[in-house]
Structure 1
Amino acid sequence: MIKSLSKTLVAAAALTLAMGVSAQELKIGYVNSERVLREAAPAKAAQAKLEAEFKKRETELADQGNRLRGAMEKLEKEAPTLPESERTRRQRDLADQDRDFQRKRRELLEDLNQRKNEELSAVVERANKVIKQIFEQEKYDIILQEVIFAGPRVDITKKVIDALNAGK
């Protein structure tokens, strides 16, 4: 992050020197990417789409986990009265079921992360197009996305969110 900030500052200083103008004459903008991904309608729509897409699998997995927990509790209660062979067989079955549950949980998380990355990259791509349009239309010299501090005078995040919500 420090390298990124240093590169940004060097780029801004170089731009200032190259243009031969004072820093106050530069038109600088800042976009809070996290806020865009949290508040923009396309990002919210992508999140809702993902929730709908994975809801059934999450529910099935939760049900399987509850059944497995119930079976483990039942075995714990019955274990003292069960014959050794029966207890061993049931423990083995539960271990197999637990491995299956853990595998399904990992697969769900991997699939969810992959789809989330796909959906968010589409939103980021749209946001970058909007930022470029604002850059060109309003004749900015530089628009930054990763900074430590930015004042409200240079923050154009709301413009970007509004443009995304308008479908531009």
Structure 2
Amino acid sequence: MKSFKRVFSHHAIAALALGCTTLASAAELRIGFVNTDRIFKEAATAKAAQSKLEQEFSRREREVEGLGAQLKSASEKLEKDAPTLSDSQRAARQRQLVELDRDFQRKRREFQEDLAQRKNEELQLVLERANRVIKQVAETEKYDLIMQEAVYVNPKLDITDKVLSGLNNAK
């Protein structure tokens, strides 16, 4: 159903744009395009958010990587020592290895989920700021329509640099 709504809304926008172009003879229609990917990569607020996330999650990332290295080392040690171990010793070490692997997988999954959630929160803040700047540019420069997604855009319609400038100069 979501994809139907998305497709329908894209068709509705295309029809609106097509209809507006026929009205363009009566009044000049101004259309702009903003590349959201560039906003997320190049805006100072996006870079600050990325830096904030790196600081916030670097300790946990190192812990997960350390646990992974510990798991690899324990696995290699078991493989090396297996011929000299009794059946009960080998079984005990295998259980320890399984528990260590389970702990590693859980911590890695939790880390990835927490990081993804925080990244989405930070990107949402960047997007909200960008949308305010886009609206300001649209009102100031009298745009009728500004799009953020398109299959093809003539470069002369791209106002991403203006939005980036507004974002980077905003306080």
Q: Which residue of 2 aligns with 1:101?
A: 104
Secondary structure of 1:143's match? strand
> Aligned partners of 1:133 and 1:52: how far apart in 2?
32
Aligned equivalent of 1:33: 36
Q: CA offsets, 1:93-125, max 9 Å, x none?
A: 110010000000000000000000000000000
* Residues 92-131 of structure 1 aligned to structure 2 (within 5 Å): 92-131=95-134
Matched, 1:12 2:17: yes
Asked if structure 2 preserves the Cα contact closer than 8 Å seen for 1:5 and 1:146, the reply is: no
Residue in structure 1 matched with residue 135 of structure 2 by the alignment: 132
Distance 1:35 1:103 in 2: 34
Fraction of identical pairs, as percent: 55
| 1:1-168 superposed matches below 5 A | 3=7, 4-16=9-21, 20-22=23-25, 25-167=28-170
Partner secondary structure for residue 153 of structure 1: helix
SS of equivalent to 2:126:
helix
Counterpart amino acid of residue 11 in structure 1: L
Please, what TM-score do these two structures have when normalized by structure 1? 0.93
- Alignment gaps of 5+ in structure 1: none
1:130·1:163 contact (CA, 8 Å) conserved in 2? yes
Alignment partners' CA distance in 2, 1:23 and 1:97: 71
Q: In 2, distance between residues paired with 1:141 and 1:68? A: 58
Kindly indicate whether the alpha-carbon contact (under 8 Å) linking 1:27 and 1:140 is maintained by their aligned counterparts in 2.
yes
Distance 2:91 2:19 in 1: 72
* Matched residue type, 2:80: K
RMSD: 1.8
In terms of mean alpha carbon deviation, does 21-30 or 106-115 score higher?
Answer: 21-30
Q: Residues of 2 paired with 1:24 and 1:54: CA distance?
A: 52
Q: TM-score, normalised by structure 2?
A: 0.91
